Amino acid sequence: PSHIDIEALKIQLKTQIQEIIEIHELHIWQLTSDKIIGTIHIMCKDSEDYEKIVPKMKRIFHELKVHSTTIQPEFTNSKLKLHENECLIECPSPENCINCCPTENEEYDS
């Protein structure tokens, strides 16, 4: 949808929700004229933080008229520092990685 700036949305989410460590795989689709959906992977410390994050994220998505979202958590130790766009969940096989993980010289699409 043209009214959603993906990069601005990432910044808004990370700025307004301190429990988010990292965001990647953010995708928004307009299925019909009145149905917008989204998916996102977020990295956070633990399930307690995830429970705090979800209602805040849903509110922000709803403000943008995205009313069907899937929020995939990835839990990590807060001392662990990963590069931006790096998945914590390993792909089951290298050929599957091609679909979702960037090579060394490319970044994830938003």
Which CATH number does the domain housing residue 35 bear?
3.30.70.1350
* Residues sharing a CB contact under 8 Å with residue 81, sequence separation 6 or more, in sequence order: none
For residue 1, is it within any domain? Answer: no
User: Does 110 score more than 70 pLDDT?
Assistant: no
* In 1-110, alpha helices (H): 6-16, 47-63, 94-100
pTM of the model: 0.70
For residue 89, is it within any domain? Answer: no
Dmax over Cα atoms in the chain, in whole Å?
Answer: 43
How many residues appear in the chain?
110
For residue 47, is it within any domain? Answer: yes
For residue 84, is it within any domain? Answer: no
For residue 58, is it within any domain? Answer: yes
- The confidence band for 76, taking pLDDT boundaries of 50, 70 and 90, is confident
Its domain, for residue 55, covers: 6-75
Q: How many domains does the chain have?
A: 1
For residue 37, is it within any domain? Answer: yes
